[in-house]
Amino acid sequence: MKIAFLGHGNVGGALAHRMQQIGRDVTVGAGDLQSDSVKKLLARSPALKVALPADAVSRAEIVVLATPFQANIEVLTPLKTALAGKILIDCTNPVGPGLSHGLSSKQSGTEMIQQLLPATRVVKAFSIYGFENFEDSSFPGYGVKPVMMFCGNDQTAKAAVSELLKQLGWEPLDVGGVEQALHLEHMTLLWVRMVRMGGHSPRTVWAVLSR
């Protein structure tokens, strides 16, 4: 499976490194192939490939969007044709002043992306925790795997994302269509308030128990 990344900061860098570790063919899209951030990423993960964003996307089956939310339109618009038919995993979250929802809870960021890219199969995932848990999803001794909730409208795309989540050590939980992304974005804000402001461990995750 060939995977491209748009965004290689804390979240994108951690996920790219982890996916390469489990044997995925990972290419990071970057506007400046010699930037300090690219050099830092390659120093940590020398097996990663780096290419211009359009080239990285054109080669990929799955594209992971891990840019700052406010950059999404600028990053995605020139790639609209290249992204047609692809699976796009949206890891981004709109955050406003005072850790409010950046779109005033009127629409999710994922729905905005799906409207911008109607021919792309958008799935929201890797959004409800901080990057620390994407570097290492293992929680030994608990008897359950941490849950990763995801949503989107395309069942085939969600099946592919679910399988990738399993390979990365998560318990995948499909919570429904793209309209559920707003609730996942509020879960992100809850996690950020708990951890970044409230002093809880960044290795705080949730699990799902069913019977």
Rounded-to-10 torsion of CA 202, 203, 204, 209:
160
Domain ranges for the chain: 2-197
Task: Report the relative pairing of strands 95-96 and 87-90 from DSSP bridges.
Answer: unpaired
Rounded-to-10 torsion of CA 78, 26, 147, 169:
170
pLDDT given for residue 57 in this prediction: 98
Q: pLDDT band at 112, cuts 50/70/90?
A: very high
Q: pLDDT band at 94, cuts 50/70/90?
A: very high
Please provide the CATH number assigned to the domain covering 2-197: 3.40.50.720
| Residue range 200-204: mean pLDDT, rounded | 97
Q: Could you report the per-residue pLDDT of 157-191, keeping only the tens digit for each?
A: 999 999 999 999 999 999 999 999 999 999 999 99
| Residue range 79-101: mean pLDDT, rounded | 97
